Chain A
Amino acid sequence: MQLVLRKLVFLSALLMIGCTGCGGIHADSRIIPDIPKNTGFVDQQSYPRVVSAINSARESVQVSPQSAKAWGHLAMVFDAHEFSSQAQACYRRAMECDDKDPRWEYLLASSLEQADPQQAERLYRRQRDHELPGCEPQIRLTELLLAQNRIDEAAAVLEPLLRSMPNNARVQFRWAICCDLRGERAKALDASSKAVSLAPNSPSVRELYARLLFADGDVDTAQNEMKTLRSLSQRDAGWPDQCLEEVRMMRQDPSWQSTKAQWLSQHGQVLQAIARFETLSEEYPEEWMFAIDLARAQLSIGKKEGAVATITKALATHWEIADLWKLRGSAHLLCESWTQACDDYRQAIDINPSDCAAWSDLAFAQEQRHLTSEAIASLKKALMLDPLYDENRVRLIRLLLEQHDCLGAGDQIEFLEKLTPDHRELKSLRKACLEEASQSLFQ
């Protein structure tokens, strides 16, 4: 009897453990976040690759519900596609599964910055720099504090960073902002100058330096800084962050896929880029931009006829898109089909009359067909849209001289001289105009 009782107790215990275990796994599976129903991803089945990436990550969690890596990966996929609350829930689960990996806390904090800055601040404060190579929680903390106007607190976080990371441009940049906000201009200038030497190609760093110089009365140096600035890329790429970059690389939406393919194209891997653009064009035929990307890549390796075919196919359903007509015009130019080029540019201009490049290229095609008067008119239109595009003005002057219009050419030369007094062709154009004028006199 006792043996039976013991066996019964033992079996009951086993059953209870089993149920708890199964219930535990079942409970984990039930709370794996999913894409909300009322989204284009689900309702309209837009971007199937995104859905596929999320589902694949969810499956990994279902298989290994105690895996921090699986939860973290799912979090990053949600985060990459701006499903913030789902991402945050998954980051938290990843932290519960493995509290030693600092990535999840850092990424959760970064995800919370807009919605819950206090929570983000708490998370950043728990972290230490150097735990995550290429990611800087303390610097992000100072940025958060500065955004909330907590300048002295930001300074308190920055001071030890200045000692431990004196050659970090971002630290120097934030310290310069901090000092400026506290009215400590000399310190701000000093830090800003250091930031420029460490990150000379950063527009935001140079802009701050220029502003501080100007406020300090050093107007000439400030103006020179602005000149250097204008030669840099207009859009600031921001500060590199390895952790966030890893999240970004998980994006599967087509515009991001297109950006990556363009990067391949720009870095010499054109055939790979073409393959990706072809896939995107097939998967998303309604998004004509991919046809443009594909055609551009084809043109870059001389596949002119291929580019024409690509765009012609897109135009069948997107005849109202000026950029498609314009690009096909460019392809015809490269094929030296001047008449077709003219026709296509005209179509582009009919749709979008304010496209300077279309007018300019139309003028080129008209020149090739010796339609000089039309080319002059087109160049004048292009110059009205972008008066500072000197190349067009030079072309216009040459065409006016060809037509023996010395007065018109003279006006344009005067204009060019006013706008760009040191233009390399001014001298030769003036000479040509004088020669033309003399010939006209003798005739």
Chain B
Amino acid sequence: MCAVGIFSGCTKASIPKASSVATVNEENASVVSGRPTSLFSAINPASIGISFVHQTLGRHDYFLPEIIGSGCALVDVDGNDRVDILAASLSSADGTAGAQPIGGTVEIFFQNTNGTFSKRDNSTLVIAGLAMGIAAGDLTNDGLPELLVTSYGEDSLFLNEGEGRFRNVTSESGYSNPAWGASASFVDFDRDGWLDLFVTNYIDYTARPCRQLGGGNPDFCVPHLFPGTIDRLFRNTSHEAMSDETPRQVRLQDCTAESGLAGMKGAGLGVAAADFTADGWPDLYVANDQMANFLWVNQRNGSFREEAVLRGCAYDRQGRSQASMGVAIDDFDGDGLWDLFLTHLEGEYHTLYRGHAGGLFEDDTHAAGLADVTLPYTGFGTGSFDIEHDGDVDIVCVNGRVRRPAGFPAQSAAYFSPYRQRGQVLVNRGGVFQEQNPKEELWLEEQAVARGLAVGDLDRDGDLDLVVNRIGEPLGIYRNDSVKTGHSVRVRSVLPQCGGRDAIGAVITLVTDRGVFRRLIQPGLSYLSSHEPWAHFGTGAADAVREFQVLWPDGSTSLHPGGDVDREYILEKP
């Protein structure tokens, strides 16, 4: 019973904890490994009804999409107030070496009221290309999120028809992205109340042999051998096609050229849409692989201007480009300005750009204690949130190499084994981060080629859990079991004027007697993934909320009364 009830909000005391040695038995089969002092415990996905295993093409010829991997998403797709889990897979079945791509899938696991997950008829979405990223956002303003699945090959856009059913509307919507789609983000860039769509594209890839110089072994090619591509921006014009007879229509107009985005080619892998310049209009940040990142600053007239170099968030502090993959946005230092955290290649630290007034950024990685600890890892998916509710925002990164380490033979037992690395939990101690000792976190000793990471409250217990998509392996699910040193509040912000959808782009400020906390509602972050679209606050010792201040995506603001901590709030735009 307890095994079934893990995600139905059972109190922690009723769930048996595994001993320090990882054991699996009939009674606590759901918890694979954990310690009393662990921040997270690995959950056996099968025990909660999740049967997903990420499929590659089985080519074994260093075909680049195979090492780029796929993402995952946490979103309530069927409107039952329980977050569902979505996971992308490159291929729908193992292929033989040298075979043509046979298409990917996204599998949807719906959360039941008892906290387990299950599949339904048609809950496997078939994708034309090799499925990479998942982004969720309500394009039709009916309260149900649509899904964009980016691919190596054709991207696929799905209309949510309700009750967890999706229909592929790619061609009828006008959406077309001929390039290799990576991460995507829904954002109302023109503030008209309809979510638009921004997609970053990777490289113009031609499969070719590459050999490591130090050894002559074959390996995956480096991206700078291939031309960059332009990113794509789509304006939502669905309202123009809707009528009483056809209330649910998706229409997207490609405005890439007019927006100015076609002026720069990059190797985009991660995206972040937020108002970085504090002018009330969302900007678009692109994490590029082995070249300068982009910051497209909204000019408020439908166009954007690229200013990452000028604003100090294109390179590291020495002016060197880095191989950027995953992105997190948060106010790590509590100064009311957004900071950026990017994951990078082994040998390059994961960078923390602190935001300064005027929309400027500074690489503050060393001062934050993040440089040395992240140097040995190739980071991908990342999430920032308060793990222990002490009031400081922490960081989780999942890692996995893209090049075989020197001296590792080419012919090894398992094709992906040389690329495995462990994840990292970076705990914020007053502005300086300390890496959680992996010996204290058994799940961190587990190595994998991890890619997508989505963060959300799977078990509705007020803290945030993790879902990780790992190349060629089952989904990693990690429950937050940290000993809490403070309180928490979860907030959902909705737009009744827009069918009750989530207010993506809203900024929630929580005011307490002990301090002010600020969060952005933007699930389209991390790497190829989508977080749960709620704001989560660790309030530390503050035991009451004085009020909420909301800056809505259209630029208006509202105040909402506070109340108790350790509960959820739903704030509606007046």
A residues contacting B by CB (< 8 A) are: 36, 38-44, 46-47, 50, 81-84, 114, 143, 146-147, 149, 177, 181, 204, 207-208, 210-211, 214-215, 222-223, 226, 229, 234-235, 253, 286-289, 320-323, 352-355, 384-388, 415, 418-419
In contact, A207 and B315 (Cβ under 8 angstroms)? yes
In contact, B257 and A40 (Cβ under 8 angstroms)? no
Is B206 an interface residue when CB atoms closer than 8 A count as contact?
A: yes
Is B258 an interface residue when CB atoms closer than 8 A count as contact?
A: yes
Q: How far is the CA of A84 from the CA of B406 in the complex (A)?
A: 10
Chain A residues, Cβ within 8 Å of B360:
214-215
Is B211 an interface residue when CB atoms closer than 8 A count as contact?
A: yes
In contact, B212 and A177 (Cβ under 8 angstroms)? no
In contact, A47 and B178 (Cβ under 8 angstroms)? no
From A42, A43, A354, contact of B178 by CB (8 A): A354
In contact, A386 and B216 (Cβ under 8 angstroms)? no
In contact, B310 and A40 (Cβ under 8 angstroms)? no
Listed by A's residue number, 11 A-B pairs whose Cβ atoms lie within 8 Å are A39-B217, A39-B409, A44-B217, A82-B215, A147-B318, A207-B309, A235-B224, A322-B206, A354-B178, A386-B262, A415-B257
Given A46-B216, A204-B319, A321-B206, A211 and B309 touching (CB < 8 A)? Answer: yes
In contact, A41 and B216 (Cβ under 8 angstroms)? yes
In contact, B179 and A354 (Cβ under 8 angstroms)? yes
Given A38-B409, A207-B319, A322-B206, A47 and B312 touching (CB < 8 A)? Answer: no
In contact, B318 and A143 (Cβ under 8 angstroms)? yes
Measured CB to CB, the nearest residue on chain B to A204 is: B319
Is B50 an interface residue when CB atoms closer than 8 A count as contact?
A: no
Q: How far is the CA of A147 from the CA of B372 in the complex (A)?
A: 11
In contact, A40 and B309 (Cβ under 8 angstroms)? no
From A143, A177, A211, A352, contact of B310 by CB (8 A): A211
Given A40-B218, A82-B213, A143-B318, A386 and B208 touching (CB < 8 A)? Answer: no
Chain B residues, Cβ within 8 Å of A41:
215-216
Is B252 an interface residue when CB atoms closer than 8 A count as contact?
A: no
Q: How far is the CA of A114 from the CA of B314 in the complex (A)?
A: 23
In contact, A40 and B410 (Cβ under 8 angstroms)? yes
Is B371 an interface residue when CB atoms closer than 8 A count as contact?
A: yes
CB distance from B347 to the nearest CB of A (A): 7
From A146, A229, A320, contact of B318 by CB (8 A): A146
From A47, A177, A418, contact of B211 by CB (8 A): A47
Residues in B312-342 with C-beta less than 8 Å from chain A: 312, 314-315, 317-319
Given A114-B347, A322-B206, A226 and B407 touching (CB < 8 A)? Answer: no
Q: How far is the CA of A46 from the CA of B319 in the complex (A)?
A: 36
Chain B residues, Cβ within 8 Å of A289:
208
Is B118 an interface residue when CB atoms closer than 8 A count as contact?
A: no
Measured CB to CB, the nearest residue on chain A to B154 is: A353
Given A40-B410, A354-B204, A388-B263, A181 and B317 touching (CB < 8 A)? Answer: yes
In contact, A214 and B211 (Cβ under 8 angstroms)? no
In contact, A40 and B215 (Cβ under 8 angstroms)? yes
Interchain pairs with CB closer than 8 A, number: 117
What are the 6 tightest A-B residue pairs by CB atom distance, in nearest-first order? A82-B214, A40-B216, A387-B257, A41-B216, A149-B366, A39-B215
Residues in B141-159 with C-beta less than 8 Å from chain A: none
Q: How far is the CA of A276 from the CA of B371 in the complex (A)?
A: 44
B residues contacting A by CB (< 8 A) are: 176, 178-180, 204, 206-209, 211-218, 224, 229-230, 254, 256-258, 262-263, 291, 307, 309-312, 314-315, 317-319, 347, 360, 366-367, 371, 406-407, 409-411
In contact, B216 and A50 (Cβ under 8 angstroms)? yes
Given A286-B209, A323-B206, A388 and B262 touching (CB < 8 A)? Answer: yes
Measured CB to CB, the nearest residue on chain A to B367 is: A149
Chain B residues, Cβ within 8 Å of A43:
409-411
Given A210-B310, A226-B310, A385 and B215 touching (CB < 8 A)? Answer: no
In contact, A222 and B310 (Cβ under 8 angstroms)? yes
Q: How far is the CA of A360 from the CA of B515 in the complex (A)?
A: 59
In contact, A40 and B312 (Cβ under 8 angstroms)? no
Having A214-B310, A354-B178, one finds 8 other A-B pairs with CB under 8 Å, namely A44-B216, A50-B216, A82-B406, A84-B406, A177-B317, A223-B310, A354-B180, A386-B262
Chain B residues, Cβ within 8 Å of A234:
291
Q: How far is the CA of A207 from the CA of B321 in the complex (A)?
A: 12
Q: How far is the CA of A289 from the CA of B211 in the complex (A)?
A: 13
Chain B residues, Cβ within 8 Å of A419:
257-258
Q: How far is the CA of A146 from the CA of B318 in the complex (A)?
A: 8
Chain A residues, Cβ within 8 Å of B217:
39-40, 44, 46
CB distance from A286 to the nearest CB of B (A): 7
Measured CB to CB, the nearest residue on chain B to A51 is: B216
Chain B residues, Cβ within 8 Å of A208:
319
Q: How far is the CA of A218 from the CA of B318 in the complex (A)?
A: 22
Q: How far is the CA of A114 from the CA of B254 in the complex (A)?
A: 45
Looking at B178, B207, B215, B258, which has the most chain A CB atoms within 10 Å of its CB? Answer: B215
Q: How far is the CA of A226 from the CA of B217 in the complex (A)?
A: 40
Chain A residues, Cβ within 8 Å of B206:
321-323, 352
From A82, A211, A235, A288, contact of B312 by CB (8 A): A211
Q: How far is the CA of A418 from the CA of B178 in the complex (A)?
A: 23
Chain B residues, Cβ within 8 Å of A84:
214, 406
Chain A residues, Cβ within 8 Å of B312:
211, 215
In contact, B407 and A38 (Cβ under 8 angstroms)? yes
In contact, A83 and B214 (Cβ under 8 angstroms)? yes
From B178, B211, B218, contact of A385 by CB (8 A): B178
Measured CB to CB, the nearest residue on chain B to A321 is: B206
Q: How far is the CA of A187 from the CA of B384 in the complex (A)?
A: 36
Chain B residues, Cβ within 8 Å of A223:
310
In contact, A149 and B371 (Cβ under 8 angstroms)? yes
In contact, B211 and A40 (Cβ under 8 angstroms)? yes
Q: How far is the CA of A286 from the CA of B218 in the complex (A)?
A: 13
Chain A residues, Cβ within 8 Å of B176:
384
CB distance from B379 to the nearest CB of A (A): 18
Q: How far is the CA of A222 from the CA of B217 in the complex (A)?
A: 45
Q: How far is the CA of A342 from the CA of B411 in the complex (A)?
A: 42
In contact, B211 and A46 (Cβ under 8 angstroms)? yes
CB distance from A83 to the nearest CB of B (A): 6
Chain A residues, Cβ within 8 Å of B307:
214
From B213, B230, B347, B371, contact of A253 by CB (8 A): B213
Looking at B224, B254, B262, B310, which has the most chain A CB atoms within 10 Å of its CB? Answer: B310
In contact, B213 and A81 (Cβ under 8 angstroms)? yes
Measured CB to CB, the nearest residue on chain A to B363 is: A181
Q: How far is the CA of A223 from the CA of B318 in the complex (A)?
A: 21
Chain B residues, Cβ within 8 Å of A288:
208
From B204, B211, B216, B311, contact of A355 by CB (8 A): B204
Q: How far is the CA of A257 from the CA of B262 in the complex (A)?
A: 35
CB distance from A216 to the nearest CB of B (A): 11
Measured CB to CB, the nearest residue on chain A to B317 is: A181
In contact, A177 and B410 (Cβ under 8 angstroms)? no
In contact, A40 and B262 (Cβ under 8 angstroms)? no
In contact, A388 and B309 (Cβ under 8 angstroms)? no
CB distance from B433 to the nearest CB of A (A): 15
CB distance from B217 to the nearest CB of A (A): 4
Q: How far is the CA of A160 from the CA of B220 in the complex (A)?
A: 45
Chain A residues, Cβ within 8 Å of B366:
149
Q: How far is the CA of A353 from the CA of B310 in the complex (A)?
A: 35
Q: How far is the CA of A354 from the CA of B177 in the complex (A)?
A: 9
CB distance from A420 to the nearest CB of B (A): 11
Measured CB to CB, the nearest residue on chain A to B208 is: A289
Q: How far is the CA of A308 from the CA of B224 in the complex (A)?
A: 28
Given A36-B407, A40-B216, A147-B318, A287 and B209 touching (CB < 8 A)? Answer: yes
CB distance from B339 to the nearest CB of A (A): 17
CB distance from A121 to the nearest CB of B (A): 16
Q: How far is the CA of A81 from the CA of B213 in the complex (A)?
A: 6
